[in-house]
Amino acid sequence: MSVDAATVRKIASLARIAATEAEVEAMVPELNNILGFIEQLSEVDTTGVEPLAAVIPNHLRLREDKVTDGGIREKVLQNAPQAEHGFFAVPKVIE
């Protein structure tokens, strides 16, 4: 399997990373090189093998359904690039 420039553009768009044409062109051989390397897994017979979900057996814990944290709006917003009126602000999304 190999990727071309169109595929790289599509992946970059899915990953929300802007890429110039030059960057896309440079990325094509790099990704193909890595994908070629990981292609070797196809030779491993994994018939009947369950995908590993957790390396160490551990059960999912549920906590009590009650508020344990909160009332820290200033802390939550303190690293925001732009905060207004106690909210995160983003460019307008609705005309």
Residue ranges that bind another protein, judged by CB under 8 A? 3, 7-8, 11-19, 27, 30-31, 33-35, 37-42, 44, 46, 49-56, 58, 60-61, 63, 72, 75, 78-82, 88, 90-93
Minimum CB separation from another protein for residue 6, in Å?
Answer: 13
Minimum CB separation from another protein for residue 79, in Å?
Answer: 4
Q: What are phi and psi of 88, to 5 degrees?
A: -75, 135
What number of CA atoms fall less than 13 Å from residue 64's CA on the CB side? 4
* 3-state secondary structure (DSSP) of residue 37: helix
